[in-house]
């Protein structure tokens, strides 16, 4: 029931200025739901960081209001942070069948079990979550079983449509349910929050069906082994590779932990279809002619340690490249920092004389799962919202999305281009910006969550760039002075054997500097040493290593 004093809040805690970390909140009075809970990927300068996850502080502080978590599809940037969130709150998770299977698998990665995972059928189910009445509907994306949500609130209907495109010939034969979306939107729609990453791309996004013929053309000409790589959650692309293998008389082999697990889940749940004898175990490949094998292999982003990476480096335990072999990349190096890794792997593969088909060759072996400008226009025409919120892209994508909305009659003030943490408040049919929730990126490093901040990253950057100089100082506590000249060790700064004279000069100069200050304590000795050596090294050789004085008091 609508309360005249209560407003509907939409909070983009993350997922607006970047293409990952999708995490959104709808809140009305004492009820709150979360839509998507994804990870981000570290930038190249985030040395040692494994993942970036949203800041869950607001949800944790309002956990009593949380009625459910809705997951739109099975990509990491929409579900990968769930194990971290569920350590802090308890709430049911709602997902379609395949997505639920991938969520269970994600929790296995963290030696955890997911409680209260609810599977919905987007053809018929309606979810009641406090004051929110949520109707999922099928959309097309690069992974099967993706959905959008029509969220009926006391203030009106809000459509939340993350990654989508209008693909009328999808691999799984389940296109965007435009009829259901149109019926749901037939009465006035208050707002639409939707994918904006394709807002700078003209036309419609190409259908997934177009790729299969291109893959087949390459495989048909090959006389050696085929190594086909895509992201492990791209079940549709795996299906296409399997279809090609079947038609051309090759056996398929899944290589890599992530590919193996996700393909097994998709097969078990009915989203991957192939004859039982098409896919063989890696243990049987020695009995097969090389021109009868197609490997579906993990590592399309060039991840160090992945199966494709080890193959490229000549380090795989049982696979080896020959000059007759063909490698097909059917993905774009999308996550931040991944292109350098992929380029390195591609170069290594080419160096092995393999025939490599990858993104720079303009062979159209990958199509986006995101709608382009015409797809966005079509969604706007079907939903006919009063207000618009671009999600899942960058600043430039949001700007382009806004221009599309304006070209279709929206005024600029009806498009909310949100920064992380910003709040849109809907009340009595009107919307306004209503402040900001303080958020930060939370960095995951090994088992540590949130304990790596800017200071640690700065130190890692210095260590990677200029190394470290360790000054060992024997200090007489009673006399307040050094007992001998400091011993300076270099790690990643200068080569000690050749730089011995330089380090000895630094040691003598530091001793002279400390002697100038007379009687001092151990802390003052450390501070002077850091300041002096940083200036000395930069003046002498133009480098700024991390200076670590170790004072041994005697």
In the chain, the largest separation of any two C-alpha atoms, in whole Å, equals: 87
CA 128/CA 375 separation, integer angstroms: 30
Do 403 and 292 share a structural domain? no
Kindly state whether residue 278 falls inside one of the protein's structural domains. yes
Do 194 and 234 share a structural domain? no
Q: How open is the CA angle 117-122-128, to the nearest 5 degrees? A: 60
Kindly state whether residue 453 falls inside one of the protein's structural domains. no
Domain boundary among 360, 382, 409: 360
CATH of residue 382's domain is 3.60.15.10
Buried/exposed code over 279-298 (b: 16+ C-beta within 10 A; e: otherwise): beeeeebeeeeeeebbbbbb
Look at residues 191, 193, 159 and name the one whose alpha carbon lies nearest to residue 178: 159
Do 154 and 35 share a structural domain? yes
CATH of residue 501's domain is 3.10.20.580
Do 524 and 416 share a structural domain? no
Reduced to 3 states, what is the DSSP secondary structure of residue 77?
Answer: helix
Buried/exposed code over 341-379 (b: 16+ C-beta within 10 A; e: otherwise): bbeebbebbeebebbbbbbeeebebbbbbbbbbbbbbbb
Kindly state whether residue 187 falls inside one of the protein's structural domains. yes
Q: Which domain holds residue 510?
A: 467-553
Do 336 and 314 share a structural domain? yes
Kindly state whether residue 457 falls inside one of the protein's structural domains. no
**Residues whose CB falls within 8 Å of the CB of residue 317, separated by 6 or more in sequence, listed in order:** 310
Enclosing H/E stretch for 8: strand 8-14
Do 167 and 297 share a structural domain? no
CA distances from 375 to 172, 176, 210, 281, 407 (A): 20, 11, 17, 41, 14
CA 21/CA 117 separation, integer angstroms: 21
Q: What is the DSSP string of 457-494?
A: HHHHHHHHHH-EEEEEEEEETTTTEESS--EEEEESSS
Do 97 and 66 share a structural domain? yes
Q: What is the pLDDT of residue 338?
A: 72
Look at residues 120, 15, 133, 132 and name the one whose alpha carbon lies nearest to residue 71: 120
Q: Which residues pair with residue 51 across a beta bridge? A: 444
Kindly state whether residue 408 falls inside one of the protein's structural domains. yes
Domain boundary among 417, 448, 479: 448
Crossing angle of helices 235-247 and 257-269, rounded to 10°:
90
Look at residues 53, 48, 93 and name the one whose alpha carbon lies nearest to residue 77: 53
CA 191/CA 389 separation, integer angstroms: 8
Kindly state whether residue 1 falls inside one of the protein's structural domains. no
Reduced to 3 states, what is the DSSP secondary structure of residue 547?
Answer: strand
Do 174 and 39 share a structural domain? yes
Q: Supply φ then ψ for residue 398, to 5 degrees.
A: -65, -40
CA 401/CA 380 separation, integer angstroms: 11
Structural domains counted in the chain: 3
Q: pTM of the predicted model, to two decimals?
A: 0.82
Q: Is the dihedral of CA 219, 224, 225, 231 positive or negative?
A: negative
CA 52/CA 44 separation, integer angstroms: 12
Kindly state whether residue 454 falls inside one of the protein's structural domains. no
Kindly state whether residue 261 falls inside one of the protein's structural domains. yes
Do 217 and 193 share a structural domain? no
Q: What is the pLDDT of residue 245?
A: 97
Buried/exposed code over 450-463 (b: 16+ C-beta within 10 A; e: otherwise): eebeeebbeebeeb
Do 136 and 88 share a structural domain? yes
CATH of residue 321's domain is 3.40.50.10710
Q: What is the pLDDT of residue 286?
A: 87
Are 494 and 503 spatial neighbours (Cβ–Cβ below 8 Å)? yes
Do 191 and 44 share a structural domain? yes
Domain boundary among 415, 448, 481: 448
Q: What is the pLDDT of residue 481?
A: 75
Q: What is the pLDDT of residue 97?
A: 97
* pLDDT per residue rounded down to tens, the chain (554 residues): 667 679 999 999 999 998 889 999 999 999 999 999 999 876 555 444 567 889 999 999 999 999 999 999 999 999 999 999 999 999 999 999 999 999 999 999 888 889 899 999 999 999 999 999 999 999 999 899 999 999 999 999 999 999 999 999 999 899 999 999 999 999 889 999 999 999 999 999 999 888 899 999 999 999 999 999 998 889 999 999 999 999 999 999 999 999 999 999 999 999 999 999 999 999 999 889 999 999 999 999 888 889 999 999 999 999 999 989 999 998 875 665 677 788 889 999 999 999 999 877 656 788 889 999 999 999 999 999 999 999 999 999 999 999 999 999 999 999 999 999 999 999 999 999 999 999 987 776 544 454 444 544 455 455 556 678 788 888 777 777 777 788 888 776 776 655 677 888 888 888 888 888 888 887 888 888 888 888 888 888 777 787 888 887 76
Do 517 and 384 share a structural domain? no
């Amino acid at each position: 029931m609508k309360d005249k004093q209560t407003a509907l809040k939409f909070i983009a805690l993350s997922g607006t200025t970047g293409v990952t970390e999708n995490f959104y909140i709808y809140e009305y009075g004492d009820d709150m739901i979360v839509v998507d809970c994804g990870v981000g990927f570290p930038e190249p300068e985030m040395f040692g960081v494994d993942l970036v996850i949203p800041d869950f502080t607001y949800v944790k502080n309002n956990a009593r209001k949380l009625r459910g978590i809705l997951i739109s599809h099975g990509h990491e940037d929409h579900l990968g942070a769930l194990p971290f969130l569920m350590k802090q709150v308890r709430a049911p998770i709602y997902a379609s069948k395949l997505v639920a299977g991938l969520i269970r698998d994600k929790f296995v990665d963290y030696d955890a079990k997911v409680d209260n995972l609810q599977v919905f059928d987007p053809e018929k189910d309606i979810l009641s979550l406090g004051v929110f009445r949520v109707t999922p509907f099928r959309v097309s994306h690069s992974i099967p079983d993706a959905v959008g949500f029509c969220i009926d609130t006391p203030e009106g209907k809000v459509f939340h449509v993350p990654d989508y495109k209008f693909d009328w010939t999808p691999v799984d034969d389940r296109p965007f349910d435009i009829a259901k979306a149109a019926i749901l939107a037939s009465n006035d729609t208050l707002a639409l929050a939707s994918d904006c990453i394709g807002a700078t791309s003209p036309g419609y996004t190409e259908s997934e069906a177009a790729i299969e013929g291109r893959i087949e053309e390459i495989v048909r000409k090959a006389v050696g082994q085929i190594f086909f790589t895509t992201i492990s959650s791209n079940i549709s692309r795996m299906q296409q590779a399997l279809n090609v293998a079947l038609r051309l008389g090759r056996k398929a082999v899944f290589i890599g932990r992530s590919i193996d697990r996700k393909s097994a889940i998709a097969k078990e749940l009915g989203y991957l279809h192939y004859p039982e004898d098409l896919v063989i175990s890696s243990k049987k490949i020695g009995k097969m002619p090389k021109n009868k094998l197609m490997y579906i292999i993990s590592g399309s982003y060039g991840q160090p340690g992945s199966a494709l990476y080890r193959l490229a480096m000549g380090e795989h335990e049982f696979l080896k490249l020959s000059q007759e072999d063909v490698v097909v990349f059917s993905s774009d190096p999308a996550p931040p920092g991944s292109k350098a890794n992929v380029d390195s792997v591609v170069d290594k593969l080419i160096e092995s004389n393999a025939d490599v088909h990858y993104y720079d060759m303009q062979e159209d072996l990958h199509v986006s799962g995101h709608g382009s400008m015409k797809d966005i226009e079509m969604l706007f025409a079907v939903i006919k919202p009063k207000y618009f919120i671009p999600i899942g892209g960058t600043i430039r994508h949001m700007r382009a999305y806004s221009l599309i909305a304006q070209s279709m009659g929206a005024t600029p003030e009806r498009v909310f281009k949100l920064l992380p943490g910003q709040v849109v408040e809907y009340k009595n049919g009107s919307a306004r910006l209503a402040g900001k929730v303080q958020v930060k990126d939370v960095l995951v490093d090994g088992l540590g969550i949130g304990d790596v901040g800017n200071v640690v990253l700065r130190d890692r950057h210095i260590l990677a760039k200029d190394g470290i100089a360790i000054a060992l100082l024997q200090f007489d506590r009673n006399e307040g002075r050094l007992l001998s000249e400091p011993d300076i060790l270099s790690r990643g700064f200068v080569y000690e054997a050749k730089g011995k004279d330089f380090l000895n000069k630094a040691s003598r100069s530091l001793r002279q500097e400390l002697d100038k200050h007379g009687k001092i304590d151990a802390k003052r000795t450390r501070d002077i040493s850091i300041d002096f050596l940083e200036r000395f090294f930069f003046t002498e050789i133009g480098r700024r290593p991390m200076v670590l004085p170790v004072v041994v008091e005697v």
